[in-house]
Amino acid sequence: QKEVEQNSGPLSVPEGAIASLNCTYSDRVSQSFFWYRQYSGKSPELIMSIYSNGDKEDGRFTAQLNKASQYVSLLIRDSQPSDSATYLCAAMDSNYQLIWGAGTKLIIKP
């Protein structure tokens, strides 16, 4: 099992709908969790970090962390075509190294 796993997609969502992105992780990476967005040809951009169980909201984005089930998710409400990108999930291990998922490609269809 990979330490951080994401479905590679593509995940296709109609404009205005909720996009749900998921990430599971192993016992070795259970410190802090991060979601990044990466447009094609650009560098990753931090969307949100989450450290404790529950939900964290920032504008149209909500991160959810469930440590018992070892998953973290990102919900994007009112999806826009500009949200089309690859979403990377990362988890920090006990050595403060970020372990990365392979990313989920999200496509928002107008």
Partner 1 sequence: KAGVTQTPRYLIKTRGQQVTLSCSPISGHRSVSWYQQTPGQGLQFLFEYFSETQRNKGNFPGRFSGRQFSNSRSEMNVSTLELGDSALYLCASSLERFYEQYFGPGTRLTVT
Residues binding partner 1 (CB under 8 A): 31-32, 34, 36, 42-46, 49, 88, 92, 95-98, 100, 102-103
Nearest-angstrom CA–CA distance, 55 and 57: 7
Is 75 or 99 the residue whose CB approaches partner 1 more closely? 99
Is 15 or 57 the residue whose CB approaches partner 1 more closely? 57
- Name the β-bridge partners of 37: 45, 87
The count of residues in the chain is: 110
CB of 62 to partner 1, least distance (A): 17
Is 50 or 79 the residue whose CB approaches partner 1 more closely? 50
- According to DSSP, residue 83 is labeled G
